[in-house]
């Protein structure tokens, strides 16, 4: 497969792109431009749907999970973020281990297979808090005769943890030695979290891989090279991860396409390493399981003056992600940010997963009433299954690693029929 990275205008028509996709060939950035600029949005969606069928047939996934935002206190102030609070601000919170234990207990009682936990970059919590959080979830589940997969800490948080554990060296060193020192600190953190029971990394914090966008909207956060290095280290340790793109703020469509291209190249690398492992030794490496396009919500952020993306742009971006990221198996229509009706539509435009029951979600509050009501975002399994069936697909419950789950009430197991 040839990767074409030229930015010269390319007159490919959608028909030519369709032929290329059917041949399994990789699309160039210029062809991505066509997918974004063609007025035939339904043609783009139809093509993405074709690819989605090739990967997954009539199956669409959901899971039973619970989100746990351990703290919204953050040292940074990203302009697109309405989640963070400063330590003494009204609404700031940090959960203790009793709270974590109780959330894990509720998750097990509800039959959840996963806890998804992320938070702000808390400036004062000690390093021990984080492995303790993972351990507390795992031990609570085990004591109840069950298990919970802990998917926790974005790449941004992992680097923050390396800093507070004082193992993050070479932060400002652009040489290969500086990078090696940074990766060593990242590995130190991930090894200890994995020992505590961490199962995988979520895909947050990627935003848009572009220095201009970074400096304008989330200065202070790690840049794309470090985000990708965190995932590289995780993959090398056998941990799977996801990837996001937060679009519809100060970036343009070409910058989104470059982001997608950087991700698929990182995935090429991960899959090549995984294939080499399977040929030989130990446990295979991890890779990116899913790409999750996330629309920007302006309300309450420092970019409130921007309109944010509208419905058709959300559909198109998801379809483009399916077509460009030809080596990432899953595309998630994260219903909580896309809304459930839109997630249904997205299942016909390239998505194969709508995520889960969630219960509480503090990161972005889709406006639908009071702020408090908006953080309680639970849907039932029956609602998720109905949404998938209405979209024309067979609902299949998955665990975090996309293995089929079979269950009897709140007792579950991976595999089986």
Q: How many residues does the chain have?
A: 417
Q: Which of 32, 120, 185, 203 binds ligand SF4 (CB under 6 A)?
A: 120
Q: Taking Cα atoms as reference points, which of 363, 390, 369, 414 lies closest to residue 113? A: 414
Collect contacts of 335-339 with beta carbons under 8 A, ≥24 apart: 335/379, 335/384, 335/387, 336/361, 336/364, 336/366, 336/377, 337/294, 337/295, 337/297, 337/364, 337/366, 338/295, 338/314, 339/366
- Of residues 192 and 221, the one with the C-beta less far from ligand SF4: 221
The answer to the question of residue 84 lying near ligand SF4 (CB under 6 A) is yes
Site for ligand SF4 in 130-189 (CB under 6 A): 156
Q: Which stretch binds ligand SF4 (CB under 6 A): 3-11, 30-38, 81-89, 351-359?
A: 81-89
Q: How many residues interact with ligand SF4 (rule CB under 6 A)?
A: 12
Q: Which of 121, 133, 331, 349 binds ligand SF4 (CB under 6 A)?
A: 121
Q: Which of 7, 77, 380, 406 binds ligand SF4 (CB under 6 A)?
A: 77
Binding pattern for the stretch 35-74 against ligand SF4, x by CB under 6 A and - elsewhere: ---------------------------------------x
- H or E, element range at 398: none
Q: Which of 30, 47, 81, 331 binds ligand SF4 (CB under 6 A)?
A: 81
Under 8 Å between Cβ of 360 and 66:
yes
The answer to the question of residue 32 lying near ligand SF4 (CB under 6 A) is no
Burial of 76 (0-12, 13-18, 19+ CB in 10 A): middle
The answer to the question of residue 250 lying near ligand SF4 (CB under 6 A) is no
Q: At what angle do helices 155-164 and 224-236 cross, to 10 degrees?
A: 90
Q: Which of 70, 83, 297, 335 binds ligand SF4 (CB under 6 A)?
A: 83
The answer to the question of residue 78 lying near ligand SF4 (CB under 6 A) is yes
**What residue ranges bind ligand SF4 (CB under 6 A)?**
74, 76-78, 81, 83-84, 120-121, 156, 218, 221
């Amino acid at each position: 497969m040839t990767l074409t990275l030229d930015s010269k205008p390319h007159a490919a028509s959608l028909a030519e792109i369709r032929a290329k996709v059917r041949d399994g060939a990789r699309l160039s950035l210029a062809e991505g431009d066509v997918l974004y600029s063609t007025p035939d949005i339904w043609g783009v969606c139809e093509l993405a749907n074709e690819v989605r069928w090739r990967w997954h047939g009539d199956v669409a996934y959901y899971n039973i999970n619970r989100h746990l935002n351990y703290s919204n206190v953050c040292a940074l102030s990203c302009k697109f973020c309405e989640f963070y609070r400063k330590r003494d601000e009204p609404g700031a919170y940090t959960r203790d281990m009793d709270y974590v234990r109780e959330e894990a207990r509720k998750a097990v009682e509800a039959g959840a297979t996963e806890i998804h936990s992320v938070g702000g970059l808390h400036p004062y919590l000690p390093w021990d808090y984080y492995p303790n959080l993972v351990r507390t979830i795992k031990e609570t589940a085990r004591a109840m005769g069950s298990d919970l997969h802990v998917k926790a800490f974005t790449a941004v948080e992992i680097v923050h943890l390396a800093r507070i554990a004082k193992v993050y060296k070479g932060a400002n060193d652009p040489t290969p030695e500086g990078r090696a020192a940074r990766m060593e600190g990242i590995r130190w953190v991930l090894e200890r979290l994995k020992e505590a029971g961490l199962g995988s990394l979520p895909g947050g914090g990627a935003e848009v891989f572009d220095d201009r966008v970074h400096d304008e909207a989330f200065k202070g956060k790690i840049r794309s090279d470090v985000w990708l290095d965190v995932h590289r280290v995780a993959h090398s340790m056998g941990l799977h991860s996801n990837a996001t793109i937060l679009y519809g703020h100060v970036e343009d469509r070409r910058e989104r396409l470059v982001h997608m291209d950087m991700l698929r190249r990182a995935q090429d690398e991960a899959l090549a390493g995984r294939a080499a492992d399977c040929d030989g030794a130990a446990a295979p490496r991890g890779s990116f399981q899913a790409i999750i396009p996330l629309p920007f919500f302006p309300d309450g952020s420092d970019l409130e003056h921007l309109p944010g993306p509208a419905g058709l742009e959300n559909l198109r971006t998801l379809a483009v992600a399916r077509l460009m990221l030809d080596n990432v198996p899953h595309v998630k229509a994260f219903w909580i940010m896309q809304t459930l009706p839109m997630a249904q539509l997205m299942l016909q435009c390239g998505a194969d997963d709508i995520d889960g029951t969630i219960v509480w979600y503090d990161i972005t509050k889709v406006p639908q009433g009071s702020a408090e009501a908006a953080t309680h975002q639970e849907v039932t399994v029956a609602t998720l299954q109905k949404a998938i069936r209405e979209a024309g697909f067979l609902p299949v419950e998955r665990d975090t690693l996309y293995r089929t789950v079979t269950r009897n009430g709140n007792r579950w197991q991976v595999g089986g029929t």
